[in-house]
Amino acid sequence: MSEPKARIGLEVHVHLTSLKTKLFCPCPADYVNLDPNTDLCPVCLGLPGAIPVLNEEALNKALMVAIALECEYPKYLTFTRKHYFYPDMAKNYQISQYDGPGSMAIARNGKIALGEKIIRIRRINIEEDPAKTIYPTGSMLTSTYTLLDYNRSGMGMLEIVTEPDLENSKEAKLFLDKLKSILEHLGVCDCEIEGSMRADVNISVEGGERVEVKNVGSPKDVKEAIEYEVARQRAAILQGQKVPRETRHWDSARKVTVSSRAKETDEDYRYFPDPDLPPYEISSDLIRKIRENLPELPDARIERMIKQYGISRYNATVLVMDKALADLFEATAKNYNNYEKLSNLIINDYLRWINDKNMKITDSKATPQHLSQLLELMDKGTITIKIVKEILPIIITEGKMPSDIVTAMGLTTVSDEKLIEGIVDEALRNEPELLQKVKKDPKVANYLVGIVMKKTGKRADPKLVNDIIKRKLGI
């Protein structure tokens, strides 16, 4: 019996971190490091008589995203009130948009291509973010009390909703990675800021109802939440149980979803046009200016980098999926022209080490000058690739120049032929059977290479070591 198929749709919530003020008031948008409940005004809190005024730059940013995702957009911008009774919205409604009679979202019917597969964008909404909910003594289920920080309340946000075209967790992560790259290239969102990009994940497995997993914080967590939830729903269906329509939350510590409440419908939110925000005309001149100033997007950048630098499509794609990584590569390439070697160093060593340590690229102290000097030292034979790998973490965490590290630690390459010959001769005297073994299997010579590298603290010139060993063993 084949497993029931899954259908997955995403509602991605993106902070417009490039805005200087909130969506409908003059409060500063940079709230992250402020004391709780200090970045507030009557509009943020929805106090009686407070009137919201649209931040026009938010509209410009939303239209940039709409154009980049090949969406349709309306002639007039309209806002609606989405009612729900929960303390993270002090006025008991959220100013959002609704795609229905008399109103339309800022964009709809777009797409993102994942190779040959197209993921359709149903709509994009401009809306305000609610307050941040904090559980001081545990998780949402275990904390003995809850705190609310309204600094985030009223922040400008886009809700990007897909059709249920995704089939598995891998596709969902690829989609989010590409969307993140597009948003960063457009300059609308710094996705490295915690909480700036979150997703609600809608999952239905054949034979069951749609389940929404709320407020998942990263592409990695989205992938894990989908894997858990699809497995949970499939197991229930195969055992003859019903999967009810409900809202669940992702517990990132336990790697499970937990039931929250029955799933609301559109009728539950009682959408209606916001009387404080009249329709706003989207002029053809505004669209023309945005199109003319649209920056280079990821797909175009990948093609250009392949052509300009001659690097592989795989390397170009990995670099461009994180704008900061591609920027680092291109800045370094101005002073170092072995582009394939540079891209391999950034992807295979630099990025891997940062990911292993759960760092952000923005936390790294390695500059283009560091990387170009590091590779030049290797090209000159001053250091080996093993030394490169050894000192790269020091460069990343401390920002020291490679030449200074090499000098201070005495890591220059050993190219003394007599010294290396002596180490090889000593190894053959200690293990005379190696001569016979290497005749049967030339790969045994790698054992000798390892001995030399260990004796020289990984500093021996690899080419010279191999040449000497081949000469000594007659291979």
Question: What digits encode the pLDDT tens for the residues 97-116?
Answer: 988 777 889 999 999 999 99
Angstrom distance (rounded) from CA 74 to CA 54: 17
State mean pLDDT over 237-252.
Answer: 91
Is there a single domain that holds both residue 393 and residue 275?
Answer: no
Angstrom distance (rounded) from CA 186 to CA 16: 11
pLDDT reported for residue 187: 96
Helices (H), 345-416: 352-356, 368-379, 385-398, 402-409
Q: Which residues contact 218 (CB under 8 A, 6 or more apart)?
A: 197
State mean pLDDT over 15-33.
Answer: 94
1 within a domain of the structure (yes/no): no
298 within a domain of the structure (yes/no): no
Angstrom distance (rounded) from CA 412 to CA 409: 9
331-334-337-340 Cα dihedral, nearest 10 degrees: 20
Place of tokens 């490679």: 402
Q: Which residues contact 373 (CB under 8 A, 6 or more apart)?
A: 401, 402, 403
Is there a single domain that holds both residue 337 and residue 228?
Answer: no
Q: Which helix (H) or strand (E) holds 323?
A: helix 323-332
State mean pLDDT over 305-316.
Answer: 98
| Identity of the amino acid at 132 | K
pLDDT reported for residue 56: 96
Question: What is the pLDDT confidence band of residue 360, given thresholds at 50, 70 and 90?
Answer: confident
Q: What token pair was written down for 226?
A: 């989908």
pLDDT reported for residue 266: 65
303 within a domain of the structure (yes/no): no
pLDDT reported for residue 409: 82
438 within a domain of the structure (yes/no): yes
Is there a single domain that holds both residue 167 and residue 235?
Answer: yes
Is there a single domain that holds both residue 93 and residue 188?
Answer: yes
pLDDT reported for residue 167: 96
264 within a domain of the structure (yes/no): yes
Across the chain, mean pLDDT equals 91
pLDDT reported for residue 419: 79
pLDDT reported for residue 59: 97
325 within a domain of the structure (yes/no): yes
149 φ, ψ to 5°?
-110, 110
Question: What is the pLDDT confidence band of residue 29, given thresholds at 50, 70 and 90?
Answer: very high
The DSSP call for residue 106 is S
From the list 345, 411, 420, 338, the residue with the least C-alpha distance to 381 is 411
Is there a single domain that holds both residue 74 and residue 129?
Answer: yes
pLDDT reported for residue 413: 67
Report the domain count for the chain: 3
Determine the distance from the C-alpha atom of residue 19 to the mean position of all C-alpha atoms in its chain, rounded to a whole number: 20
304 within a domain of the structure (yes/no): no
Place of tokens 């545990």: 138
Q: What percent of the chain has pLDDT over 90?
A: 68
Q: 415-431: per-residue pLDDT in tens?
A: 667 777 788 888 778 87
Reply yes or no on whether the pLDDT at 436 is more than 80. no
Is there a single domain that holds both residue 259 and residue 126?
Answer: yes
Class of residue 6 by CB neighbours under 10 A (exposed 0-12, middle 13-18, buried 19+): buried
Is there a single domain that holds both residue 426 and residue 363?
Answer: no
Looking at 409, 430, 462, which one is the last position of a domain? Answer: 409
Is there a single domain that holds both residue 393 and residue 452?
Answer: no
Is there a single domain that holds both residue 429 and residue 404?
Answer: no
Question: What is the pLDDT confidence band of residue 384, given thresholds at 50, 70 and 90?
Answer: confident
Is there a single domain that holds both residue 86 and residue 107?
Answer: yes
Which range marks the domain in which residue 55 is found? 6-290
Residues facing 281 on adjacent strands: 76
pLDDT reported for residue 265: 64
Is there a single domain that holds both residue 275 and residue 405?
Answer: no
Looking at 409, 441, 460, which one is the last position of a domain? Answer: 409
pLDDT reported for residue 166: 97
Question: What is the pLDDT confidence band of residue 327, given thresholds at 50, 70 and 90?
Answer: very high
Reply yes or no on whether the pLDDT at 332 is more than 90. yes
Residue pair 213/229 in contact by the 8 Å Cβ criterion = yes
Looking at 409, 429, 445, which one is the last position of a domain? Answer: 409
State mean pLDDT over 192-220.
Answer: 91
Q: 253-307: per-residue pLDDT in tens?
A: 889 999 886 655 666 788 889 999 999 999 999 999 999 999 999 999 999 999 9
301 within a domain of the structure (yes/no): no
The DSSP call for residue 144 is S
pLDDT reported for residue 93: 94
Q: 285-299: per-residue pLDDT in tens?
A: 999 999 999 999 999
pLDDT reported for residue 101: 75
State mean pLDDT over 130-141.
Answer: 87
Q: 41-87: per-residue pLDDT in tens?
A: 999 899 999 999 999 999 999 999 999 999 999 999 999 999 988 88
Is there a single domain that holds both residue 339 and residue 285?
Answer: no
**Mutual angle of helices 462-473 and 445-455, in 10-degree steps:** 130
Residue pair 437/445 in contact by the 8 Å Cβ criterion = no
Reply yes or no on whether the pLDDT at 437 is more than 90. no
Assign residue 463 the CATH number of its domain.
Answer: 1.10.10
pLDDT reported for residue 222: 95
